[in-house]
Amino acid sequence: MDQFTINLLFVGASFALYIGIAIWARAGSTSEFYAAGRGVHPVTNGMATAADWMSAASFISMAGLIAFTGYDNSTFLMGWTGGYVLLALLLAPYLRKFGKYTVSEFIGDRFYSPTARIVAVICLIVASTTYVIGQMTGVGVAFGRFLEVSNTTGLLIGACVVFAYAVFGGMKGVTYTQVAQYVVLIMAYTIPAIFISLQLTGNPIPALGLFGDHAASGEPLLAKLDAIVRELGFAEYTAHHADTFNMVLFTLSLMIGTAGLPHVIMRFFTVPKVSDARWSAGWALVFIALLYLTAPAVGAMARLNISEMMWPNGGIEGGAVTVEQIENDERYDWMATWQKTGLLGWEDKNGDGAIQYYNDKNEDLQAIAAEKGWTGNELTNFNRDILVLANPEIANLPGWVIGLVAAGGLAAALSTAAGLLLAISSAVSHDLIKGSFNPGISEKGELLSARIAMAVAIVVATYLGLNPPGFAAQTVALAFGLAAASIFPALMMGIFSTKINNTGAVAGMLAGLIVTLVYIFLHKGWFFIPDTNSFTDANPLLGTVKSTSFGAIGAAINFAVAYVVSGMTKPTPEHIRELVESVRVPRGAGAAQNK
């Protein structure tokens, strides 16, 4: 059986499973549609949250970013997990006690202001939509590669699948579908990593293999990797090169953004009790950590494998891989496969029949190159995003592992897209239509409008996925910055302070949102239109603060403005202080409906 058939089989079987679960769990009442009847077990909910959270960025992109940068990109690992501590301690139990369906409903009630609710809905829709565009782009690329169709066709197939189970299944379909997706994606991520760790270190646990010894040389794996990349003129893998202040700020922005993303917060409304919400955040991080502890090992081991493949005879002295080897040796077949996607490229610039991979910007290597007659790095293109998908092929693993990774990458992208779409649809139907424009809408009408909102959101996201406003990383950075600067501070102040009033909250959210948006647009172009930017991330407006790191500053502005404005305006009324007091204690939490 050829690889295409195997991929089709794995992807097809996993889809049949997701759709089957969605049909089985079809939602009835609105309460079930939004919050899965409030009856999801904390472990189940944790698993679904993990699938919801880990998107194409975590599965496809992150290990590649770590592989080619090393220590400096540990910020992703710490940032995307540390947010769960904030969620579990500062938000999840209280929002579950509050017992409503959506994040904006809490903001509207706590700040006794329909304006606050609408501002929150706007923040939520902007953050979620930008995030979902990145997912749809990822869906397109993954489908395109594995089903050997064009990016556009891949995206359209993906949109139909997301539509089917998100619209017809609602949250319950999504919850149990996401449990299935978690299982698929974690197997797809860890199985190749286990194989590779065994090959390189003899240790079946990749997270331990990373700090173990390299079997072939007997040296520690990381020391071996440092030596190889140093020999090729690249920055040492384990050393710290990036600007420290920006690293701290970026990590903090990712953490706060994680805790402010509405589709993740919503998941904690689905557990039966307040105490379960606390446990559930922990379980979510357990399931996320399985991937996040493996990712740095995947990155380091792939970097070692690639370096050794390009210099197969023991470093520079042994000579580079030859063009003839790449074309005929089946261990190098992956290079030809990925070259077709345009994401990998090489060129024998000096015509010596070999491909020299080195850092041609490094002076020591330039001296060696001059001596040996090299005329620049000949591995001309290695897109970071192909690393995880190509990894099993690079390590020469069996075809079924490659098929599994295809299914896993799609599971990661689709599950997050579905969760985001649900957050958008409930914001529109529940907060905007029922909460503001038409409070008398019937339950049936509300459910219908939720489904229409979701369908519209899918169409918009698909269109923007086909014509993305920028690279996925740019749109994802905007989503995190916005969530960090707008939603998280409002929620936290709503719970931990009785003093913040309606005017303060609205002013804080708007200030955080607008300042962050402007800072990003100044660096990435207004509405992401190229060449409309005044600054670049290499040379930012404020010191070393890149636009991706600004979310934490936006959050600080939100807090400060809210405090100052609240101090100058009318104090919060008595019934709101009582509401805050009641949110702080678990007793009296609403029971799970339709368990």
Partner 1 sequence: MADNSSKSAYWSANVRIILISLVIWAIVSFGFGILLRPMLSGIAVGGSDLGFWFAQQGSIIVFLALIFNYAWRMNKLDREHGVDEE
Q: What are phi and psi of 355, to 5 degrees?
A: -110, 105
Residues 281-320 that bind partner 1 (CB under 8 A): 281-282, 285-286, 289, 292-293, 296
Q: Using DSSP, state whether 213 is helix, strand or coil.
A: strand
For 156, residues 6+ apart whose C-beta sits below 8 A from its C-beta are 462
Q: Are 166 and 301 in contact (CB under 8 A)?
A: no
# residues contacting partner 1 (CB under 8 A):
52
Q: Is 210 in the site for partner 1 (CB under 8 A)?
A: yes
Provide the minimum distance between the beta carbon of 279 and partner 1 in the complex, in angstroms, as a whole number. Answer: 5
* Span near partner 1 by CB under 8 A; candidates 106-114, 164-172, 277-285, 331-339: 277-285
* 74 interacts with partner 1 by CB under 8 A: yes
Q: Report how far residue 305's alpha carbon sits from residue 13's, in angstroms, rounded to the nearest whole number.
A: 31
List, in sequence order, the alpha helices (H) in 442-501. 443-466, 472-482, 488-496
- The SS3 call for residue 238 is coil
A 10 A CB-CB count for 40 gives 28
Taking CB under 8 A as the criterion, the residue among 251, 462, 502, 549 binding partner 1 is: 251
Stretch that binds partner 1, among 103-111, 211-219, 305-313, 325-333 (CB under 8 A): 211-219
Residues 326-355 that bind partner 1 (CB under 8 A): none
Among 247, 450, 479, 485, binds partner 1 (CB under 8 A): 247
- The binder of partner 1 chosen from 16, 89, 529, 542 (CB under 8 A): 89
Q: Is the dihedral of CA 518, 522, 523, 525 positive or negative?
A: positive
By beta-carbon proximity to partner 1, the closer residue of 212 and 465 is 212
- Per rule CB under 8 A, is residue 223 in the interface with partner 1? yes
Binding mask 527-566 for partner 1 (x = CB under 8 A): ----------------------------------------
Cα–Cα distance measured from residue 586 to residue 582, given in angstroms and rounded to the nearest whole number? 8
Out of 244, 317, 342, 543, the residue judged to bind partner 1 by CB under 8 A: 244
Closest CA to 132 of 424, 347, 404: 424
* Alpha carbons 339 and 343: distance in angstroms, whole number: 6
Amino acid identity for residue 587 in this structure: R
Q: 323 and 339 in contact (C-beta within 8 Å)?
A: no
In the complex, the smallest distance separating the C-beta of residue 222 from partner 1, rounded to whole angstroms, is 3
Counting contacts by CB under 8 A, is residue 226 touching partner 1? Answer: yes
Stretch that binds partner 1, among 177-185, 247-255, 357-365, 520-528 (CB under 8 A): 247-255
Give the residue with the Cβ less far from partner 1, 293 or 514: 293
- 42-53 vs 274-310: helix crossing angle, rounded to 10: 40
319, 325, 347, 366, 449 from 312: Cα distances, Å? 8, 10, 18, 21, 60
Which runs of E-coded beta strand occur in 277-371? 321-322, 344-345, 354-355
Residue number with CB closer to partner 1 (324 or 581) = 581
- Residue 349 or 499: the one with the smaller Cβ distance to partner 1 is 499
Q: Which is nearer to partner 1, 170 or 257 (CB)?
A: 257
Amino acid at 533: N
Work out how close the CB of 223 gets to partner 1 at its nearest, in angstroms, rounded to a whole number.
4
Choose, by CB under 8 A, the member of 10, 59, 68, 71 that binds partner 1: 71
Applying CB under 8 A, does 207 fall inside the site for partner 1? yes
Cα pseudo-dihedral 306, 146, 149, 15, rounded to 10 = -160
Of 496 and 527, nearer to partner 1 (C-beta) is 496
Question: Exactly one of 13, 202, 219, 380 binds partner 1 (CB under 8 A); which one?
Answer: 219
Angle at 206 between CA 202 and CA 211, to 5 degrees: 80
Sole binder of partner 1 in the list 3, 31, 115, 275 (CB under 8 A): 275
Residue 264: CB minimum distance to partner 1, A: 14
- Residue 471 has phi, psi (to 5 degrees) of -65, 155
Site residues (CB under 8 A) for partner 1? Answer: 71, 74, 77-78, 81-82, 84-85, 88-90, 93, 207, 210-212, 219-226, 238, 240, 244, 247-248, 251-252, 273-275, 278-279, 281-282, 285-286, 289, 292-293, 296, 496, 581, 584-589
